[in-house]
Chain A
Amino acid sequence: MKGDYVFLYILVFLSLFFISIVFLLGFELYQGSSQIFSIYGINFILGSVWDPVKNIYGIAPIIVGSFLTCLIALILAVPISLLVAYFISDLTPAKLKPFVSSLVELLAAVPSVIYGLWGLLVLAPFLRSNVYLPLQKTFYFIPIFQGASTGYGILTAGIILAIMILPTITSIIREAIELLPLQIKEAAISLGAFRYQVARIIFIHLKLTIIAAIILGFARAFGEAMAVAMVIGGKHGFPVSIFDTGYTLPSIIVNEFTEAVNPLHYDALIAVGFILFIIALLNIVFARLLIYRSTRFFKLSIT
């Protein structure tokens, strides 16, 4: 029918328009930062000095800071989210399941700027007096524990990021556990496996999904702007200890964008955004392909 063709063409047009927005995004970010790349070349990424007043832009310390905070976040969040995912899908009574899982989803619903406010005014002062200073007193001989700690910095940002990516990782793994063919679990139980052994078998079968979830969590942490910008303290140069202040790629955009000193400074921040976009894109695409692959595998094994 004629109406159907028109309808389908409208839908196809809108979908292609959406896809072209994604391409335009990449192209415009590249275009916006091309001037920076032509002036500084590879030194933009490898340089270690960021001084807008003298128009020197190098983001190596910022990239290091980004990876460091995300690494801390993953170390803290991954084990907990694995356990929480198993807890929700297998240990919670069926009646309580919607309630418990919506509690975890609520953690994802809190806006990042509120995490930032809480981190800035509550968590950082608390951590400084109750955790960081005692830690430094005990482990003063370990190099990465030295240096002044204000409560704001890499570690605090990592902790906040861990809280924020926990629901992401948990919900992906929980959904995968629920998609897993029941026979696998039944076979394990009928062989007399205890719950920790069942969990181990589930996690072995979900290897790919877990890796994908971790990568997606990493991408989420890597792109998180507001909360990190509020607690990381903001310091140019390589961080020397985990209590040191620093910068991440998104947080430098947030902190310096409103007070950029000259047009080139704006361009440099756009270039930072471009680098962030590339790294996030690679992670997301890789994780998505892994998820598609693993779910296809399960659909095949069910039928």
Chain B
Amino acid sequence: MRIPSLRRFYDLIFVSICVIAFILAMIPLAWILIEIIINGISAFSIQLLTNLPRPAGVPGGGIANYIQGTIILVAIASLIGFPFGLFIGVFLSEFKEHKLVPIVRFFVDVFAEFPSIVIGIFVYVILVRGEIFELFGVQSICIGAICLGPMGFSALAGSISLALLMIPIVSKSVEESLNLVPVSIKEAALALGMSRWRTVFSISISYARTGILLAYILALSRIAGEAAPLLLTVLGSYYWFSGLFDRIGALPLAIFTYGISPFEDLRAQAWVASLLLILAILFLNIGLKILIRRRFAW
């Protein structure tokens, strides 16, 4: 039987529109990467990686402190956010029968979609201004000799805002990777008389370690480029890291402030900062994924 040719023609048109749509979606990606590579490499020099920033027009300025700042912020954020997210992920996946689970999952899903700037404002209000302490009716909270009061713009406040962004990303992907653990292995462990928490740590998490590591890396690459919450909690700095309660520089903030400045040399440095940031993200996203799959795969 002959198929009417009009439908075949429509089909061809539809498929080609799909292909065109995909190409259209890829143009910005390619364009951004090419611009970053061209502009970043042409402005790159080794002193950028070792020197502190200098005012526009003064040669020899660098972006070293921003690199240091981003690493410190992300590291502290991981210390707070990753265990937190991991435990929530464990709760969502291993205790499915618990009646809190659907509620927690809903909150995690909603929190994951919150605009990052809203979280920045939140941390600004409670920690930078210190209104969390007003809530308890005190000026500051003291544990032994360590006193926490309103922090002002500080590295710690910035790290906490990044940690808050990290929690839902980590817990959702940890939940997914724990769901892939075969029930039979868990049942075997439980049948041998292992307690439940030992099963979670020694069997489930150990089995799903690749997925959990990938969850961490995904969250890391997501928060490394966040600028909006940092702008409201850290504000940026032109000097080296000098303490958790001082302001600190960060690569995304440098890209923003240098990008909107009218000076050609600062804009060139913004491109270099973008190059470093995108290389780090690409490395985390692609390089490490392949590496981990090969190293830890079962």
A-to-B contact residues, CB < 8 Å: 1, 3-4, 6-8, 10-12, 14-16, 18-19, 21-22, 24-25, 28-29, 31-32, 79-81, 83-84, 86-88, 91, 100, 102-104, 106-107, 109-118, 120-122, 163, 166, 170, 192, 194-196, 199, 216, 219-220, 222-226, 230, 250, 253-254, 257-258, 269-270, 273, 276-277, 280-281, 284-285, 287-288
Contact = CB atoms under 8 A, between A and B. Distances in A.
23 contacts: A3-B196, A11-B88, A18-B107, A28-B122, A84-B21, A109-B285, A110-B29, A110-B32, A113-B255, A113-B259, A114-B225, A114-B278, A116-B255, A170-B25, A223-B114, A226-B227, A230-B256, A254-B117, A257-B232, A270-B125, A273-B117, A281-B114, A288-B106
B278 A4 contact: no
A12 B18 CA distance: 47
A280 B118 contact: yes
B267 interface: yes
A280 B281 CA distance: 27
A22 B131 CA distance: 16
Contacts of A117: 255-256, 259, 270-271, 274
Interface stretch (B8-16, B52-60, B144-152, B207-215): B8-16
B228 interface: yes
Nearest to A250: B117
B38 to A, nearest CB: 10
B110 A288 contact: yes
A253 B100 CA distance: 36
Shortest beta-carbon contacts, A-B, top 6: A223-B115, A111-B225, A196-B14, A7-B197, A83-B21, A273-B121
A16 B87 CA distance: 12
A285 B111 CA distance: 10
Contacts of B181: none
Contacts of A287: 113
A43 to B, nearest CB: 22
B174 interface: no
Interface residues of B, number: 85
Nearest to A274: B121
A116 B110 CA distance: 25
Contact of B100 (A12, A111, A224, A254): A12
A250 B115 contact: yes
Contacts of A110: 29, 32, 225, 278, 281
Contacts of B227: 111-113, 226
Contacts of A83: 17-18, 21-22
Nearest to B131: A28
Contact residues of B: prevailing secondary structure: helix
Given A87-B18, A115-B32, A196-B11, A258 B231 contact: yes
Nearest to A273: B121
Interface string B86-111: 01101100010010100110111111
A22 B110 contact: yes
B119 interface: yes
A32 B8 CA distance: 61
Contacts of A225: 115-117, 228
Contacts of A14: 84, 87-88, 91
Nearest to A271: B121
Given A11-B91, A88-B22, A281-B114, 5 more contacts: A3-B198, A14-B88, A110-B278, A223-B118, A273-B117
Contact residues of A: prevailing secondary structure: helix
B200 interface: yes
A2 to B, nearest CB: 9
A103 B26 contact: yes
B29 A280 contact: no
Contacts of A115: 32
A194 B8 contact: yes
Nearest to A224: B115
Contacts of A199: 14
A79 B26 CA distance: 15
Contacts of A114: 32, 36, 225, 255, 274, 277-278
Contacts of A79: 21
A97 to B, nearest CB: 13
Contacts of B274: 114, 117
Contact of A80 (B24, B103, B131): B24
